[in-house]
Amino acid sequence: MSSAPVIETEGLSKLFGEQRALDNVTLKISPGSIGLLGPNGAGKTTFMKCLLQLQPITSGSARLLGREVGREGREIRKRVGYAPELNCHIPGMAGCEYVTYCAQLSGLPFQAARQRAHEMLDFVGLGQERYRKVDTYSTGMRQRLKLAQAIVHDPEIVFLDEPTNGLDPKGQAQILELVRSLWRAYGMTVVLSSHLLADVGRVCEQIVIIARGRVLVQDTLENLKARKSGAAEVVLASGHGEFQAACRGRDWLCELLPNGHLRVEHNKDSLNPLLELMHELKLPPLEIIASPNALEETFVQALEISHAAA
Amino acid sequence: MPLHDAHYQHWEGTHAGVWARRWVIAKNGLTASLHNKFVRRVAVVCWVMGLLMAAVIFLLGQLLVPDSIVVRWTAQMGPQLQGIARMLTTWLLEHPEMSVGTTQDVMFYFFCAYLTPLSIFALGVTLPGLITRDLATNAIVIYASKAVSRGDYFLGKFSAAFGLLTVMWLAPVCLAWLVGNLLAPDWRFFWESLAPLCHALIFGLVLMAVLSGLALGVSAVSSKEKWTPALWFIWWVLGGVIAPIAEHTLPWLRHVSFTYDLGQIELATFHFGRDFETAKANIPVLGEALGHIPAETLNAINHPALGGSVAGLAVMLAAAAVILRKRVSPE
């Protein structure tokens, strides 16, 4: 798989009257699962819309999949999928008709479009509802449908704008798992825009934090975690008290969280001392989450710096 | 069961061209229009009218067949109608190159004039399905994110409206001409009636293009499904009321009515006044019968307000284009 940047922007700006929605955004993003993080109104959706040419760029330039945005609209969109945040569908169609139609609009011949529509509806878990009118779908079903129409033409990159909005926790988990698999199992670059840190942290390997139209942070999740190392969340089947006492003996702060996990501040770059302790105590961990709040801390820190600068 | 037990498959095929994508939009729009039961009923009425028109052309041809039922009917009519029928028969026999063309021109003129309101009605009923519903459900964003441009979208929607008018207007006209002349007793009917057919087609294409463009504009005015048909019908009716009133007061105001403007273009296309004069000259009895038509009416028939009508329609279409540009945007 090519590691050439899928998204490149140079001084990208977008103005809505006096308001600057994007301010001189310069980025290079490689293929992968990319999380666009930012508070509401930060410019995440505008950034995606500019790349998809749903909104004209005020100044600067952008390249998507190596092609100049603004010049090769149809060719770019043939290779790109988009699931918008707002509720939208083409009225009067059943689910499979709608997804077939979307595939045809992306250039697939009818037979292929129909076949893939059925496959995608199965893939997103809407197989049972394929013949129901889209207008009667629930919010959760519409979110799945948006995902199905976005990937039906097998794009190289898919933009998902707040794909878990309006979903119950189970639905959220299913959709995120599905989105995660798009890159990890099938090699489709995913750009996930969300203000929910947990969603992004669960799915994405690369993080871009945007606020006030500016890019505050662009790095891999791994690097962000490394920067914030020294803490971990440990899940144990038993022996919580024994483990907490041992931590105190090493001057490590250890607290029991409401979800039953133990948060340990070991202040080391590596998890090895923690693993050694558990080995000594013969307490096999069910799960260890390194730097569990790295994303949150980075996000808050970036926003604080941004506010201070403003 | 995990959701992605159904595995994702990559697709490695050849993409269809941009015209195929435009065709998909047009076909979808037309299919949605024809799902409406009112539209289907109006379509049936239009096709029945086409068959009736074919029957009239057939009966006209029967005037040349001795002892045909038409000849016997005319023999039982009053002296004036009998005279007209006899003169028409003589004219058809002696000057088919002029008589067939002239009579069918007049017949097609009226046929087209009767089909037009039905087409406008059908278009009004289907207006929400053109753009209004897309605006209401944010479908514009979906279109804009696919491999079609805004121009492709408009072209597809325009073609959907144009296709509907083809079903409602053009197809019945062609059916009437084909069936009517196929049943004529003389093959010369085919050749001599080509001019009326051409007039009908030229007017038809103008009418279909103008109505489709205007329908798109009105359809994009609002995202409320009841408003756009209401606006269309109000404009149609109000224009029809204003045009005759404005005739003597503010003549330019007549052109706010698109039916008036299209009517003037129809008069100019068919040269209805010229046909009228030719018929009167060759069938003196008809000339006497029609001699009571006021000079003002004859003047209006002979000198349609073509320039004003074209300008009026151009302004309306420009306004429709502005509405489309402003309203149909993914932003």
Q: What is the pLDDT along chain A (310 residues), one digit of tens a residue?
A: 567 899 999 999 999 888 889 989 999 999 999 999 888 888 899 999 999 999 999 999 999 999 999 888 888 999 999 999 888 888 889 999 999 999 999 999 999 999 999 999 999 989 889 999 998 999 889 999 999 999 999 999 999 999 988 888 888 898 999 999 999 999 999 999 988 888 888 889 999 988 888 888 888 888 877 766 678 888 888 888 888 888 888 888 888 887 788 888 877 777 888 888 888 888 888 888 877 777 777 777 777 766 666 6
Q: Pairing mode, if any, of strands A59-64 and A67-68?
A: antiparallel
The secondary structure of residue B3, as a DSSP letter, is G
> Is A101 at the interface with chain B, CB within 8 A?
yes
- Residues in B 32-71 with any Cβ partner in A closer than 8 A: 32, 35
Which of B8, B18, B134 faces A186 most closely, judged by CB atoms? B8
Judged by CB atoms closer than 8 Å, whether chains meet at B138 and A107 is answered as no
CA A32 from centroid of its chain's CA atoms:
10
Q: Do A107 and B3 touch (CB under 8 A)?
A: no
Binary contact (A54, B15; C-beta < 8 A) = no
A109·B149 Cβ contact <8 A: no
Q: Name the one residue in this structure whose structure tokens are 């998902």.
A: A160
Classified as helix, coil or strand, A57 is: coil
Reported ipTM: the value is: 0.84
Sheet holding A253-256, edge to edge: A253-256, A262-265, A231-236, A285-290
Least Cα distance to A307 among A212, A241, A226, A204 occurs for A212
Show Cβ contacts of residue A115 under 8 Å, excluding neighbours closer than 6 positions.
none
Q: Please state the pTM of the whole predicted model.
A: 0.84
Whether the Cβ atoms of residue A197 and residue A296 lie closer than 8 Å to each other: yes
State whether A123 and B25 contact (CB < 8 Å).
no
- Long-range contacts: B90-98, Cβ < 8 Å, 24+? B91/B282, B91/B283, B92/B60, B92/B63, B92/B64, B93/B64, B95/B282, B96/B186, B96/B188, B96/B189, B96/B192, B97/B188, B97/B192, B98/B278, B98/B282
Sequence-ordered list of residues with C-beta below 8 angstroms from that of A31, at least 6 positions apart, any chain? A1, A2, A3, A6, A157, A187, A189
Q: Which of B139, B4, B137, B131 is nearest to A101 (CA)?
A: B139
The label of the residue with tokens 């029957």 reads B55
Question: Tokens 């201070």 appear where?
Answer: A308
pLDDT (0 to 100) of residue B100: 80
Q: Which phi and psi angles does B146 have, rounded to 5°?
A: -100, 180
Position A270 scores a pLDDT of: 79
Q: What is the pLDDT of residue B242?
A: 92
B273 burial level (CB within 10 Å; 0-12, 13-18, 19+):
middle
Name the closest residue on chain A to residue B143, using Cα atoms: A105
User: How many angstroms separate the CA atoms of B102 and A217, rounded?
Assistant: 80
Q: Which of residues 269-288 of A touch B (CB under 8 A)?
A: none
Q: Do A54 and B145 touch (CB under 8 A)?
A: yes
Do A12 and A25 touch, CB atoms closer than 8 A? yes
* Residue A86 contacts B where some CB pair is shorter than 8 Å: yes
Q: Nearest to residue B158, comparing CAs of B131, B124, B122?
A: B131
**Residues B142 and B17 sit within 8 Å (Cβ to Cβ):** no
Q: A127 — contact with chain B (CB < 8 Å)?
A: yes
Taking CB atoms and an 8 Å limit, are A74 and B28 in contact across chains? Answer: no
Q: Chains A, B: CB contacts under 8 A, how many?
A: 124
pLDDT of residue A1: 53
- Residue A74: its chain B contacts at CB < 8 A? 18, 147-149, 152
Measured CA to CA, the distance from residue B95 to residue B225 in angstroms comes to 55
Run means of pLDDT, 10 residues per run, chain B, 331 residues: 64 91 96 93 95 90 72 72 75 75 87 94 94 92 92 96 96 93 82 90 96 96 94 95 88 92 93 77 69 76 88 96 91 65
The structural domains of chain A, ordered by start, are 7-222 (3.40.50.300), 229-292 (3.30.70)
